[in-house]
């Protein structure tokens, strides 16, 4: 497992984009797909500082994509 720490800069139903800074460009950061049935309390929102545990298998797309296994709000 690998860990990425940053801010949620984009949020969709089943994925979030996390970048090092809030003023990120559209292709900055990593897109994390949330597994089916993934629930988080409190709900994940743009601007939260998070630590994401993910597998090291990332796509080569811009931004890269991976599957989140655990998300901690810092």
Taken in order of first residue, the domains within the chain and their CATH numbers are 2-73 (2.40.50.140)
Task: Say what the pTM is.
Answer: 0.90
* Structure tokens belonging to residue 57: 């298998």
Model confidence at 29: pLDDT above 80: yes
pLDDT at 7 over 90: yes
- 26 Cβ partners below 8 Å, 6+ apart? none
**CB of 18 closer than 8 Å to CB of 27:** no
């Amino acid at each position: 497992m690998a860990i990425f720490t940053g801010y949620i800069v984009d949020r969709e139903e089943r994925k979030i984009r996390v970048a090092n800074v809030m003023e990120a460009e559209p292709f900055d950061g990593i897109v994390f797909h949330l597994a089916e049935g993934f629930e988080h309390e409190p709900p994940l929102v743009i601007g939260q500082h998070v630590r994401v545990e993910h597998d090291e298998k990332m796509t080569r797309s811009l931004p890269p994509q991976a599957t989140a296994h655990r998300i901690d709000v810092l």
